[in-house]
Copies of this chain bind each other. A is one copy, B any other.
């Protein structure tokens, strides 16, 4: 990271796969969809096609479970040339519903790290997906009291971060964003002059995968585990004005 940077006052966290498990449930769901479709016929790449459909639908249907459920139904109809019957569609929708109802399980060391940083820094949560689904996850996570602000957004691009920083009267340089997606959590804030720490999750959704240049890589830190965050912050503080 650059030397002579501003003092960090605010740490903004991503939610899914940064604070709580998420992508693993999607993977499980895709596996269940694969199994179901292959009971009905020979569809070796059913789950791959559902993913593609989900991604193609994002501009219209957005992120989240409802959008993915609709994509699985659409894929099943396409693969069976419209011949799949309603009771099998119902089973697909049940798979979608159970994804919605999965428990919220915090990643290791999240609770104690957030608690430790609370009070030292202003903490924000910036998460994307279905409004209601995200609210339910936040409530179940029991982390809400530690965040001064919670922003559920439909997309995480430069404009989104600009809007959020403005809302809280923040200069980009005083913000550190922490998240598992280089595309959504790291590159847009560093474009604005914020700092960012990438904590990879063990699965990355294809849509969130990006190539980064060496210059970009030089602009953010990668940590293997959120428990390293307080120590990393001390290092950053040492380099700040």
Contacts and interface: CB of A to CB of B under 8 A. Distances in A.
A104 to B, nearest CB: 15
B67 A93 contact: no
Interface stretch (A15-23, A83-91, A105-113, A221-229): A83-91
A6 interface: no
Please state the number of chain copies in the assembly. Answer: 2
B66 A67 contact: yes
A164 to B, nearest CB: 13
Contacts of A241: none
A154 interface: yes
Nearest to A69: B70
A158 to B, nearest CB: 16
A77 interface: yes
B61 A74 contact: no
A83 B86 contact: yes
A100 to B, nearest CB: 6
A90 B67 CA distance: 15
B66 A100 contact: no
A174 interface: no
A76 interface: yes
A140 interface: no
